[in-house]
Structure 1
Amino acid sequence: MTNPLQALWYTRCGVPTGFGLAKQAGFIDEAFARQGTRLQSIKESDDPRVRESHFDHSLQNSVRYGGNGPAVWARASGSPTRLIGVSTNGDHPLLLASEESGIKSIRDLKGRRFGLPRWFNQSIDFAGASALRTLESALRLEGLEVGDVEIVDYPVASNITSYAVSRIEGTETFKPRELPDRPKLVPDLLRGKIDAMASLGRSGLNLVREFSLTQVFDLADHPDPLARANNNSPLTLAVDQHLLDRHYDSVVTLVQQILKAERWAREHRQEARTLIAREVHASEYWIWNHYETAQGGLGIDTHLEPLALAALQDYADFLLRWKFVPARVDVNEWLDPRPLADARQALAATAS
């Protein structure tokens, strides 16, 4: 038994993960209550320095499950973190255009105006990076480069971690942040100020339906599985080195609860769909349409499959090439497979 853990800091993104399900189902809270560990939410803290750990992973005894861009940036910036799991839910971005633009194909993007968010006050501009990745991957299928389109920057002064989140009453999920200066790409696309933009799949599909937009490209359709990698695929589960070294059993307990929730989701698909919809602020229809129909499940299973790790490396190298991160991250050196293996063994023992 490793040292008793007094408090575990946690943070997660508003995306489908076994961590989110395990929190909503009470698995994590119950397991850590039995060992006398307090759970403390990074995103709900009143201290902006604590909330910044959602990006820089600076807090000792903390875990983060979410988009890989901030996790890669933290590692590249010297934070002593370890990657202990990934998940691939298939949430790939789309390239969208207005009907009035006449853009029907990737080749039609040449010389046109592409709106790109620039979150210049954040540790990493993960949204801008994801949009740029989608654009570059699409253009290269037609022998084009980013320089062949006109980039229209949308500077955003807000920093997400400047604003604490609060929970939806009676739930384990968070209300959306109300930021004062979100980039107005959709209104400008409809007004003809830009010709195309990127949007996350579930949001983008809704925009196509609501505003009769043209879906020019879906990153999920890229023939190269490595090129499909973006901020939300694969998602990363990371812990700080201190937590791993001093409280290894607690890390295994955490991962075991995540795996337990993922197993529960496979056995209770409708209930899981409802909880995931609450987690990502979407209707159950879009969870079914975007995740389940594409891959026969929610795609939340935590694993360390070689292809997903190779895709993560490809995206980490993209972030370095475009200077979103300060140094190269070697995914194999970052990885510690022990907690996942031990958690799988522990969960199997409880089922036998």
Structure 2
Amino acid sequence: MPKTAVPDTLWFTRCPVPTATGVAADRGWLAGEFAADGIAVRSLQDADPGADRAAHYTHALPGLFREGGNVPALWARSLGERTRLVGLTWIEERQAILVAPGTPVRGAAALRGLRLALPRHPVPIDFWRAMALRGFEGVLASAGYGLGDAALVDVPAGGRDGQWASELAALRRGEVDAVYVKGALAVEAARRAGAEVAVELDDLPDPAHRVNNGTPRPLTVHQDLLDTRPDLVDRFLSVLLRAADWAADEPAEVARILGAETGAGAEGVAGAYRAGTHRTLHPDLSDDRLGLLARQEDSLRAHGFLPEAVDVRSWADPEPLRRARLLATRAGAPRQGPAPR
């Protein structure tokens, strides 16, 4: 379409995790930003039944902004979808290795020789499996081991199973020795299963060992929208910066929003997100974060999740975020989020 064309709708999608997109949506700021232009801003999660919800994974929707896990984002780019990486966040979202009640396994080195659960979901990109694989890989690497030093056990997941239900059931039956989980719902699932924590990945000092689907978490937009209406992209990103800035002063409100986004109760949210999470929603494209995402790309490709290589640094376009910061500064300078610890 010509550069002067105005789309009827801008779409956004995000994962059920801490995101500036989720905060901005809750505050009504995304809709408010574009109302005067006659542009509707809609959530893909709340769209009509006929909407292409698979676009959350494929990003095959030119007017879509996506803030979510890096496995589907890298996969879509690997398949040739014309997306651009315009931001990355690093948010510590509880990752843990669980074992059966009464099991004496504690610490990364203790996973050597154990049977590790790898779920298998019947979906085009099995990000659940990728997360478990990367979680175990990071933990073992922190102790000087590799995946070959443990036994990887496939655990088929039923379509109606809740998150980690199949793996925790296999743990309960004694078919596996350890399960990887992450996030607010994981806290609640572990409690229901009576499982015990063998390793807290958040305590691993090297961020490279904590790299996974959500660390770092990409913010992507379609190249078509960038080519035709870069001004809309800049304004959208400026709203996200405003939302991240607001969140930095509102821990209680962010906790409420996280409860709604994740579907978890207060205990799950408090157990999954450490104090200070509300100050970590600012996206950037720092060299550190790009390097950590490149590590993720290397691993995903090595394990067969990506059909083609993705050059992370070439995929990244820092200009929209730079311009968005200038827009946001006019309304009050946005804070910069901390680098990965």
Q: Fold match, TM over 0.5?
A: yes
CA distance in 2, matches of 1:208, 1:136: 21
**1:329 matched to 2:337:** no
CA distance in 1, matches of 2:232, 2:133: 38
Normalising by the residue count of structure 1, what TM-score does the alignment of the two structures yield?
0.86
Q: Which residue of 1 aligns with 2:264?
A: 282
**Runs of 5+ unmatched residues, structure 2:** 334-341
CA distance in 2, matches of 1:236, 1:7: 22
Matching of residues 144-183 of structure 1 within 5 Å: 144-156=145-157, 158=159, 183=165
Q: Which residue of 2 aligns with 1:349?
A: 330
Q: 1:42 to 1:290 in 2, by over 3 A?
A: closer
The equivalent position to 2:195 in structure 1, one of 213, 229, 235, is 213
CA distance in 1, matches of 2:161, 2:158: 10
Q: 1:188 to 1:100 in 2, by over 3 A?
A: farther
Q: Which amino acid aligns with 2:172?
A: L
**1:184 matched to 2:166:** yes
**Runs of 5+ unmatched residues, structure 1:** 159-177
By how many angstroms is 1:180 displaced? 8.4
The equivalent position to 2:296 in structure 1, one of 310, 315, 319, is 315
Partners of 1:92 and 1:233 within 8 A in 2: no
Q: Which residue of 2 aligns with 1:76?
A: 78
Q: Which residue of 2 aligns with 1:58?
A: 60
Q: Which residue of 2 aligns with 1:166?
A: none
Q: Which residue of 1 aligns with 2:50?
A: 47
The equivalent position to 2:17 in structure 1, one of 3, 15, 31, is 15
CA distance in 1, matches of 2:94, 2:308: 25
CA distance in 1, matches of 2:189, 2:48: 33
Number of matched pairs = 330
CA distance in 2, matches of 1:117, 1:92: 19
1:112-168 CA distances to partner (integer Å, 9 max, x unpaired)?
22211112x32211111111111111112333322222222122364xxxxxxxxxx
By how many angstroms is 1:221 displaced? 2.5
Q: Which residue of 1 aligns with 2:110?
A: 108
Normalising by the residue count of structure 2, what TM-score does the alignment of the two structures yield?
0.89
Matching of residues 220-259 of structure 1 within 5 Å: 220-259=202-241
Q: Which amino acid aligns with 1:267?
A: D
Q: Which residue of 2 aligns with 1:164?
A: none
**1:271 matched to 2:274:** no
CA distance in 1, matches of 2:167, 2:39: 44
Q: Which residue of 2 aligns with 1:174?
A: none
Partners of 1:96 and 1:204 within 8 A in 2: no
Q: Which amino acid aligns with 1:229?
A: V
Runs of 4+ in 1 over 4 A off after TM superposition: 178-183, 207-212
Please, what is the CA RMSD of the aligned residues? 2.3
Mean Cα deviation higher: 274-283 or 250-259? 274-283
Secondary structure of the equivalent of 1:184? helix
Partners of 1:114 and 1:194 within 8 A in 2: yes
1:10-48 CA distances to partner (integer Å, 9 max, x unpaired)?
211111100001001100011121211122433434237
CA distance in 2, matches of 1:210, 1:47: 35
1:195-214 CA distances to partner (integer Å, 9 max, x unpaired)?
11000043444445454433
CA distance in 2, matches of 1:208, 1:60: 39
The equivalent position to 1:291 in structure 2, one of 254, 270, 273, is 273
Mean Cα deviation higher: 253-262 or 263-272? 263-272
Partners of 2:184 and 2:262 within 8 A in 1: no
Mean Cα deviation higher: 137-146 or 14-23? 137-146
Q: 1:269 to 1:190 in 2, by over 3 A?
A: same
Q: Which residue of 1 aligns with 2:285?
A: 304
